[in-house]
């Protein structure tokens, strides 16, 4: 078990230092691999015995976890991908054969992302209208999430200097996965909300502290991801939105509404920061479903 811990520690150091993966990604890898160590302990074996058969047993073990720890199929597939990456790293470092080179994670059904309707997005934004510093901040936060399609980690990590305005046009620089930067233009509503926040609310939240963080909490520190999630969920309840709403719901909505409006999928890929257009293509399935619904309800000979 001690050797297993060393191998995992070396791998996590590799993806942190050599590959430059984000802290959140490395933390996810660490959680996955701690889970694998738990499995090895239960199975009374170690990493030296890694094989496709052992990986299959691991999948079965993950599926058999109790209710508190039970994982969905997508999480199980991610755990296996993490394990494969570890296996490839060990094989490369030891100049040996990778036992999981041909092993594939379990296939999962393709699920369509849940997007809010435009009216629900507007209702969510309207719940933040007010004059308090937190209401002005929350309005700017939601507007920016919807205007950029940014991941919540990208938005809460924004600095004031990441905003660039030329005449009436505002651009936001987002730092994506693997430290990849992208520039996203935002419209008038988000620009106005940000201007309002910067001129009348941020200084009130700052409390004489010195920080370049854009979005602040009541203590004058950078707003956390957890707090941002809570802000979205609380305002969704106020808006009377029945579906479970998260910051990622706004990212899905951003992509879906752009494609509904006729945006090119390559443009949406760039705005979302997807490395491959294949990842973005799942949103086209949403719009196709909507086209089918519209066709079925409107065409005289559709039924």
In the residue annotation, 274 being an active-site residue is answered as: yes
Among the listed residues 191, 202, 251, 252, the single catalytic one is 251
Among the listed residues 35, 84, 137, 274, the single catalytic one is 274
d(CA 33, CA 82): 7
In the residue annotation, 41 being an active-site residue is answered as: no
User: What residues have CB less than 8 Å from 228, skipping those under 6 apart?
Assistant: 141, 152, 155, 156, 215, 247
What is the token pair recorded at 282?
A: 């799942």
Q: What is the DSSP string of 48-113?
A: GG--HHHHHHHHHHHHT--TTT---HHHHHHHHHHHHHHHHHHHHHHT---TTTT--PPP------
d(CA 73, CA 205): 42
In the residue annotation, 292 being an active-site residue is answered as: no
Among the listed residues 173, 182, 222, 248, the single catalytic one is 248
Among the listed residues 151, 202, 252, 257, the single catalytic one is 151
In the residue annotation, 107 being an active-site residue is answered as: no
Question: Cβ distance 197 to 124 under 8 Å?
Answer: no
In the residue annotation, 11 being an active-site residue is answered as: no
Closest CA to 256 of 145, 115, 134: 115
In the residue annotation, 151 being an active-site residue is answered as: yes
Among the listed residues 173, 177, 222, 225, the single catalytic one is 177
What is the token pair recorded at 39?
A: 């499995």
d(CA 246, CA 248): 5
Which strands sit side by side in the sheet containing 163-166, from one edge to the other? 163-166, 169-175, 181-186
Active site residues: 151, 177, 248, 251, 274, 283
């Amino acid at each position: 078990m001690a050797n297993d811990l060393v191998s995992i520690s070396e791998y996590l150091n590799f993806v942190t230092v050599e590959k430059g993966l984000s802290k959140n990604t490395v933390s996810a890898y660490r959680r996955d691999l701690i889970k694998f160590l738990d499995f090895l302990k239960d199975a009374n074996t170690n990493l030296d015995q890694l094989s496709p058969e052992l990986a299959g047993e691991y999948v079965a073990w993950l599926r058999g976890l109790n209710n508190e720890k039970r994982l969905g199929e997508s999480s199980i597939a991610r755990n296996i991908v993490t394990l494969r990456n570890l296996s490839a790293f060990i094989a490369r470092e030891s100049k040996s054969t990778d036992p999981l080179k041909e092993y594939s994670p379990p296939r999962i059904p393709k699920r369509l992302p849940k997007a809010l309707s435009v009216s629900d997005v507007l209702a969510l934004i309207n719940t933040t209208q007010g004059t308090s510093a937190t209401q002005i901040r929350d309005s700017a936060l939601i507007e920016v999430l919807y205007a950029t399609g940014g991941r919540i980690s990208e938005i809460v990590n924004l600095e004031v200097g990441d905003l660039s305005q030329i005449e009436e046009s505002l651009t936001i620089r987002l730092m994506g996965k693997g430290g990849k930067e992208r520039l996203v233009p935002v419209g008038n509503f988000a620009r106005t909300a940000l201007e309002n926040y910067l001129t009348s609310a941020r200084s009130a939240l700052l409390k004489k502290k010195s920080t370049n963080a854009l979005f602040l909490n009541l203590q004058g520190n950078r707003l956390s991801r957890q707090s941002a999630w809570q802000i979205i969920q609380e305002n969704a309840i106020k808006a009377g939105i029945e579906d479970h709403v998260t910051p990622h719901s706004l990212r899905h909505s951003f992509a879906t509404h752009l494609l509904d409006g006729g945006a090119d999928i390559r443009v949406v890929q760039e705005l979302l920061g997807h490395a491959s257009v294949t990842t973005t293509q799942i949103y086209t399935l949403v719009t196709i479903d909507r086209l089918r619904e519209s066709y079925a309800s409107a065409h005289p000979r559709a039924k």
